[in-house]
């Protein structure tokens, strides 16, 4: 009985630990057109993440972004606007930026594109993209 209780306590602690760790990038907001206008007006860099919940490549990119933001205050200072591909794939933003597919990451500053990664999941590749927005 005691060993079962210890198991339950340690299992609960592990579950709390997992719940406390980020399951999505730390500085992520859901895209809305008015929100994009605010980020563009700020003049600060921001990342547009065109993703779908069912996309395995998108999930891999999110894991890399999570890790990079958790490890670097400079990367975490770059907000990520997650654009739901299923909702916005035929929208004006996708057309204006010529987004070819989901799993596209676009680093912006104001209304200028600094760089992009299309379907890339490599840590170095994504870090190099974020480096374009780090002063």
- pLDDT of 135 reads 75
| Residue among 4, 119, 101, 104 nearest 57 (CA) | 119
H-helix or E-strand spanning residue 116: strand 112-118
Q: Cβ(94)–Cβ(112) under 8 Å?
A: no
DSSP state of 24: S
Give me the domains of the chain, ranges plus CATH numbers.
25-131 (3.40.30.10)
Going residue by residue through the chain, which has 135 residues, state the pLDDT in tens, using 9 for 90 and above. Answer: 444 444 333 333 333 333 344 444 478 999 999 999 999 999 999 999 999 999 999 999 999 999 999 999 999 999 999 999 999 999 999 999 999 999 999 999 999 999 999 999 999 999 999 999 997
DSSP assignment of 81-111:
EEEEHHHHTTSHHHHHTT--SSSEEEEEETT
- Sheet of 28-30: strand order equals 28-30, 80-84, 45-51, 104-109, 112-118
Q: Using a cut of 0.85, tell me whether the model's pTM lies above it.
A: no
| Residue among 39, 60, 55 nearest 110 (CA) | 39
Report helix, strand or coil for 121: coil
Which residues are 115's β-sheet partners?
Answer: 107
């Amino acid at each position: 009985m005691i060993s079962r209780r210890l198991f339950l306590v340690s299992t609960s602690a592990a579950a709390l630990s997992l719940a406390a760790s980020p399951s999505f990038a730390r500085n992520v907001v859901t895209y809305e057109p008015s929100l994009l206008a605010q980020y563009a007006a700020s003049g600060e860099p921001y990342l547009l993440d065109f993703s779908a919940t069912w996309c395995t490549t998108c999930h891999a990119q999110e894991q890399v972004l999570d890790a990079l933001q958790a490890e670097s205050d400079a990367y975490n200072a770059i907000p990520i606007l997650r654009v739901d591909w299923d909702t916005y794939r035929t929208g004006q933003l996708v057309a204006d930026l010529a987004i070819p597919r989901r799993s596209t990451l676009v680093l912006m500053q104001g209304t200028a594109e600094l760089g992009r990664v299309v379907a890339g999941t490599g840590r170095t590749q994504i870090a190099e993209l974020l480096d374009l927005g780090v002063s």
